[in-house]
Amino acid sequence: MTVDPVLEVEDLRVEFRTRDGVARVLNGVSYHVGAGETLAVLGESGSGKSVTAQAVMGILDTPPAFVTGGSVRFHGEELLTASADRRREVRAEGIAMIFQDALSALNPVFTVGFQIEEQLRLRRGMSRSEARKRAVELLDLVKIPHARFRVRDYPHQFSGGMRQRVMIAMALALDPEVLIADEPTTALDVTVQAQIMDLLAEIQRERRMGLVLITHDLGVVAEVADRIVVMYAGRIVEEADAFALFRSPGHPYTAALMRSLPRLDDKGSTLETIKGLPPSLLRIPSGCPFHPRCPRAEDRCLAEVPPPLDLGGRTSACHFAPEVLGG
């Protein structure tokens, strides 16, 4: 699917300056998402997925986090150098975000209705009654039963899945063009996970909204993604459309992630794991950061950082990618 980008991230670099040293958390991350498109950002914990989203939203804590380079553009408008007021405006109405832990993201001392209504009054100039009516409509939209009564409830009175639905309602209140969902199904059982993902897909279709889905769940990615970027140690190591990536991963890390996924047609076999641990971002290995865990690593991998190779509509940051993909 070819679409004009709504959100573009280019060569984004972020470091955390700590007492133990400088952690290079993002090292040249680039991706884009268009209207109605779902981009999945995949990788282990600590790969930089959530930090990228927070940098896009302008909500990194500084210090210790510092954006040291790159570009974030919304409809071509640079956000990294925009005024604080302009970034708040875009964050309110252009790009919204669902956070990983809904209970922590919601304020426990206010009703969910108040938290939805507040932004409608501030940004849309609605009266209290208008905002309350719209809050009920939004809770209905995300399929919360008895919304006109539940709008008066507090976050702790909702289950984990229902709190996640409230977060989605808040994010959609101002009709954003791009929604960033950071691990939206974490800590939910598989039935509720499926309901949340179906809900996001339904809303996306209705609104032609771009969706950036941050996850480590390959099953979720396979169901919903148009394109996938795979991150490792603050870099994008592979990008491809979902079908191509699952059919033939072009980076050893992606292939290892695929092999660690249980398969219904492979009962009784031992589940493979990726040996070792992700590198410390304070001490990223020289060359390809995956080489200490890679079964294909050679001397070249220890010395040279592989650039993202264009392989006909997909990229892979691996010296062996053309050989692996037959190109």
**Is the pLDDT reported for residue 320 higher than 50?**
yes
* Whether 70 contacts 11, CB under 8 Å: yes
Please report how the helices 128-141 and 112-124 are oriented relative to each other, as an axis angle in degrees rounded to 10: 120
- The neighbour count for residue 40, using CB atoms within 10 Å, is 26
Measured distance CA(208)–CA(178) in Å, rounded: 9
Q: How far is CA 194 from the centre of its chain?
A: 17
User: Which range is least confidently modeled, 61-65, 154-158, 269-273?
Assistant: 269-273
Contacts of 270 (CB under 8 A, 6+ apart): none
Average pLDDT along the chain: 91
CA atoms 311, 70, 212, 204: torsion sign? negative
Beta pairing class for 178-182 and 65-74: unpaired
Question: Residue 170, exposed/middle/buried by CB under 10 A (0-12, 13-18, 19+)?
Answer: buried
For residue 40, the cross-strand partners are 213, 228
Paired tokens of 177: 């063009």
* Whether 56 contacts 32, CB under 8 Å: no
DSSP class of residue 278?
P
Please report how the helices 160-172 and 128-141 are oriented relative to each other, as an axis angle in degrees rounded to 10: 120
Measured distance CA(294)–CA(252) in Å, rounded: 7
**Domain layout of the chain by residue ranges:** 5-94+178-324, 102-173
The CATH fold assigned to 5-94+178-324 is Rossmann fold (3.40.50)
Q: What is the mean pLDDT of residues 166-171?
A: 94
166 versus 323: the higher-pLDDT residue is: 166
pLDDT per residue over 212-270, tens digit each? 999 888 888 888 899 999 999 999 999 999 999 999 999 999 999 988 877 767 776 77
Please state, in angstroms and as integers, the Cα–Cα distance from residue 51 to each residue in 66, 240, 327, following that order.
11, 21, 33
% of the chain residues with pLDDT over 90: 73
Paired tokens of 200: 């996001």
Paired tokens of 221: 């990615």
DSSP class of residue 106?
S
* Whether 24 contacts 67, CB under 8 Å: no
Residue-level pLDDT at 1 = 46
CA atoms 73, 79, 85, 90: torsion sign? positive
Q: Which amino acid is at 120?
A: L
Confidence of residue 3 (pLDDT cuts 50, 70, 90): low
For residue 41, the cross-strand partners are 214, 229
Helices within 29-159 (DSSP H only): 49-57, 84-93, 102-105, 112-124, 128-141, 147-150
Confidence of residue 326 (pLDDT cuts 50, 70, 90): low
